[in-house]
């Protein structure tokens, strides 16, 4: 099947001397191809237009996309701003640290980051909190014999992230519903009428914010309690020139959003890869039997190199965040070109993650890339988490939960004498934007 490009738009045009990719549709631009077929779109653009080209993101406008590896270092450049993220998704990300620059960003990030470092996660007992939840879920899969994998990993991740926040288990069903409505804000057309996604999404956001405000009040009233929200409240209150509660609430909401879809997608891809490559499963089972139990502390993760390699290689081939938007504040040199101040930029993490310039045989799934390496992990080896001041806060948490999940899955299924089997076509229904994920319909059997 050919790409979802507009056959009537074939004209070759330039903007600021840089070619515009043909094939945009009115109103939605290249979004259909970006969402459904991003790897081929980037390859075609590079082949026909070179390393710099404009893509049309519909309502978000044109973003100058650069596949030259230099573009990755823009994420660390002092004259590049993240404020464009708020303009693209004001309803969801407005006021959150991912869209802030400089001192304001540092202040908000400093108040959160310690809780997500290995020490903070270990002190808060996050591994002990997660292990039984993950084990119960994979045991339920074994009992059912067959699951729709992305739905299952989505539910599991929501449960984990809510328990991390300290949201009581009996409140989860209500949160689930509101959270799904909140996500509609990502794709909502800008029409605010009753029953439409924008109105429903805003109502869900207001409901969630009101609940979070209550948690924050409770945290202040019972300062001795532990839990991530409590840690964050005290860190925010201690920060220089304390941050307003609105900033705190928006950032707790950001954590719910940032930590859910991305991880659910990665976990689903891990199961799919294990199901379609029996040698991976055998290597994981051998490791799980050797360690004998689900690890709960960061210090224990070194005993699970196969599970760690699975997590890294899966994310390399299936990065959950494919594109990052930025704005140039000053004129910049990017590869062979000068980019004018004010240009909206798109940094294609997906392209670098699978680039032959960075990886040997980039399209092959090779655990050995990670198992045989002797040097430490460099920023470019974990580029799926970004780099520079906005590098993902959840990196150590994801690493912990993915290894825990792999070991729990292998121990549970192996004990029952079963292994994962792929029951659907993997290529159909993949999505690449706003976050990338396998098809919602993919089914995995355990037999
Ligand atoms: C596989 C899972 C994940 C992937 C691939 C991922 C990817 C990313 C990327 C690429 C960024 C950089 C955004 C930018 O530079 O504009 C980012 C930022 C962020 N991530 Fe993650 N993420 C994941 C999981 C998580 C989790 C579990 C959490 C927390 C619960 C989290 C919290 C955040 C936050 C708060 C930021 C913003 C940091 C800042 O702006 O300073 N992420 N993530």
- What pLDDT does 189 receive? 77
Residue whose Cα lies nearest atom 1 of ligand 1: it is 263
**CA 63 to ligand 1 center in whole angstroms:** 21
For the Cβ of 107 lying below 6 angstroms from any atom of ligand 1, the answer is no
Q: Look at residue 160 and give its three-state secondary structure.
A: helix
Mutation test residue for ligand 1: of 153, 392, 397, 398, the one with most atoms within 8 Å of CB: 392
Give tens-digit pLDDT for 413-433. 999 999 999 999 999 999 999
Average pLDDT over residues 167-195: 82
Among the atoms of ligand 1, which is closest to the Cα of residue 108?
A: 41
User: Residue 206 — left, alpha, or beta (φ > 0 → left; ψ -120 to 50 → alpha)?
Assistant: alpha
**CA 12 to ligand 1 center in whole angstroms:** 36
For the Cβ of 80 lying below 6 angstroms from any atom of ligand 1, the answer is no
Q: What is the mean pLDDT of the chain?
A: 92
- What pLDDT does 348 receive? 98
Residue 387 structure tokens: 């780099």
- What pLDDT does 259 receive? 87
Give tens-digit pLDDT for 43-63. 999 999 999 999 999 988 999
- For residue 179, name the pLDDT band (cuts at 50, 70, 90): confident
- For residue 224, name the pLDDT band (cuts at 50, 70, 90): low
**CA 350 to ligand 1 center in whole angstroms:** 15
Closest CA to 59 of 320, 344, 331: 344
For the Cβ of 384 lying below 6 angstroms from any atom of ligand 1, the answer is yes
* 31 or 238, greater pLDDT: 31
User: Residue 227 — left, alpha, or beta (φ > 0 → left; ψ -120 to 50 → alpha)?
Assistant: left
Output phi, psi for 75, to 5 deg: -65, -15
Report cis status (omega within 30 of 0) of the bond before 434: yes
Give tens-digit pLDDT for 274-307. 999 999 999 999 999 999 999 999 999 999 999 9
**CA 328 to ligand 1 center in whole angstroms:** 21
Among the atoms of ligand 1, which is closest to the Cα of residue 256?
A: 30
**CA 67 to ligand 1 center in whole angstroms:** 22
Whether 324 has a pLDDT exceeding 70, the answer reads yes
Are the CB atoms for 201 and 182 separated by under 8 Å?
yes
- What pLDDT does 110 receive? 87
Among the atoms of ligand 1, which is closest to the Cα of residue 164?
A: 30
Cα dihedral 249, 254, 257, 263 sign: negative
Are the CB atoms for 72 and 352 separated by under 8 Å?
yes
For the Cβ of 147 lying below 6 angstroms from any atom of ligand 1, the answer is no
For the Cβ of 394 lying below 6 angstroms from any atom of ligand 1, the answer is yes
Whether 227 has a pLDDT exceeding 70, the answer reads no
CB-count burial class (<10 Å; 0-12, 13-18, 19+) for 412: buried
Are the CB atoms for 228 and 397 separated by under 8 Å?
no
Give tens-digit pLDDT for 240-257. 777 788 888 999 899 988
Whether 271 has a pLDDT exceeding 90, the answer reads yes
Q: Look at residue 114 and give its three-state secondary structure.
A: helix
Residue whose Cα lies nearest atom 43 of ligand 1: it is 392
Mutation test residue for ligand 1: of 81, 393, 397, the one with most atoms within 8 Å of CB: 393
* 191 or 265, greater pLDDT: 265
Residue whose Cα lies nearest atom 7 of ligand 1: it is 385
Residue whose Cα lies nearest atom 18 of ligand 1: it is 392
Beta partners for 334? 337
Give tens-digit pLDDT for 94-150. 989 999 999 999 988 988 888 899 998 998 899 999 999 999 999 999 999 999 999
For the Cβ of 259 lying below 6 angstroms from any atom of ligand 1, the answer is yes
For the Cβ of 81 lying below 6 angstroms from any atom of ligand 1, the answer is no
Whether 186 has a pLDDT exceeding 80, the answer reads no
Average pLDDT over residues 31-43: 96
- What pLDDT does 225 receive? 59
Residue whose Cα lies nearest atom 11 of ligand 1: it is 392
Average pLDDT over residues 58-79: 94
- What pLDDT does 1 receive? 57
Angle at the Cα of 147 (from 146 to 152), degrees rounded to 5?
155
For the Cβ of 98 lying below 6 angstroms from any atom of ligand 1, the answer is yes
Q: What percent of the chain has pLDDT over 90?
A: 72
Q: Tell me how far apart the alpha carbons of residues 167 and 129 are, in angstroms, rounded to a whole number.
A: 13
**CA 390 to ligand 1 center in whole angstroms:** 8
Q: What is the pTM of this model?
A: 0.95
CB-count burial class (<10 Å; 0-12, 13-18, 19+) for 116: buried
- For residue 226, name the pLDDT band (cuts at 50, 70, 90): low
Among the atoms of ligand 1, which is closest to the Cα of residue 97?
A: 40
Closest CA to 252 of 182, 187, 161: 161
CA atoms within 13 A on the CB side of 316: 25
Separation of first and last alpha carbons in the chain:
34
- What pLDDT does 223 receive? 67
What are the E-state strand segments in 44-172?
Answer: 52-56, 62-66, 80-81, 146-148
Q: What's the farthest any 2 CA atoms get from each other in the chain?
A: 65
Residue whose Cα lies nearest atom 12 of ligand 1: it is 386
Average pLDDT over residues 342-355: 97
**CA 258 to ligand 1 center in whole angstroms:** 6
Lowest-pLDDT range, 16-20, 159-163, 328-332? 159-163
Mutation test residue for ligand 1: of 104, 383, 385, the one with most atoms within 8 Å of CB: 385
- What pLDDT does 238 receive? 80
User: Residue 73 — left, alpha, or beta (φ > 0 → left; ψ -120 to 50 → alpha)?
Assistant: alpha
Residue 20 structure tokens: 């515009």
């Amino acid at each position: 099947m050919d790409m979802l490009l507009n056959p009537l738009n074939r004209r070759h045009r330039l903007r600021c001397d840089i070619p515009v990719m043909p094939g945009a549709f009115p109103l939605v631009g290249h979004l259909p191809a970006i969402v459904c077929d991003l790897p081929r779109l980037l390859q075609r653009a590079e082949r026909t237009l070179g390393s710099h080209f404009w893509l049309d993101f519909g309502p978000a406008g044109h973003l100058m996309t650069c596949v030259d590896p230099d573009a990755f270092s823009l994420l660390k450049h002092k004259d590049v701003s993240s404020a464009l993220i708020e303009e693209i998704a004001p309803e969801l990300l407005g006021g959150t640290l991912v869209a802030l620059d400089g001192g304001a960003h540092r202040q908000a990030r400093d108040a959160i980051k310690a809780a997500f470092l290995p020490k903070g996660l270990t002190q808060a007992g996050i591994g002990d909190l997660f292990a039984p939840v993950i084990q119960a879920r994979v045991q339920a899969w074994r009992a059912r014999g067959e699951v729709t994998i992305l739905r299952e990993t989505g539910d599991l991740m929501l449960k984990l992230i809510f328990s991390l926040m300290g949201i009581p288990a009996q409140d989860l069903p209500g949160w689930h519903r509101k959270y799904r409505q909140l996500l509609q804000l990502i794709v909502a057309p800008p029409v605010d009428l009753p029953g439409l996604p924008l109105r429903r999404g805003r109502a869900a956001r207001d409901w969630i914010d009101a609940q979070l405000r209550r948690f924050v009040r409770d945290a202040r009233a019972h300062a001795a309690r532990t839990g991530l929200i409590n840690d964050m409240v005290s860190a925010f209150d201690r920060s220089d020139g304390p941050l307003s509660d609105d900033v705190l609430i928006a950032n707790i909401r950001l954590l719910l959003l940032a930590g859910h879809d991305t991880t659910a997608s990665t976990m689903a891809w891990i199961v799919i890869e294990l199901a379609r490559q029996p040698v991976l499963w055998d290597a994981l089972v051998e490791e799980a039997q050797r360690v004998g139990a689900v690890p709960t502390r960061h210090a224990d993760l070194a005993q699970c190199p196969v599970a760690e390699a699975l997590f890294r290689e899966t994310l390399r081939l299936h990065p959950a965040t494919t594109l990052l938007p930025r704005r140039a504040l000053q004129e910049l040199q990017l590869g062979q070109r000068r980019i004018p101040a004010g240009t909206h930029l798109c940094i294609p993490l997906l392209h670098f993650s699978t680039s032959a310039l960075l990886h040997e045989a980039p399209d092959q799934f090779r655990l050995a890339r990670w198992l045989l390496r002797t040097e430490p992990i460099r920023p470019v080896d974990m580029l799926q988490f970004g780099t520079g001041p906005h590098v993902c806060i959840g990196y150590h948490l994801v690493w912990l939960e993915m290894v825990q999940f792999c070991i729990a899955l292998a121990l549970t299924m192996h004990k029952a004498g079963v292994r994962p089997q792929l029951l659907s076509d993997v290529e159909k229904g993949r999505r690449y934007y706003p976050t990338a994920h396998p098809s919602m319909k993919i089914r995995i059997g355990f037999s």
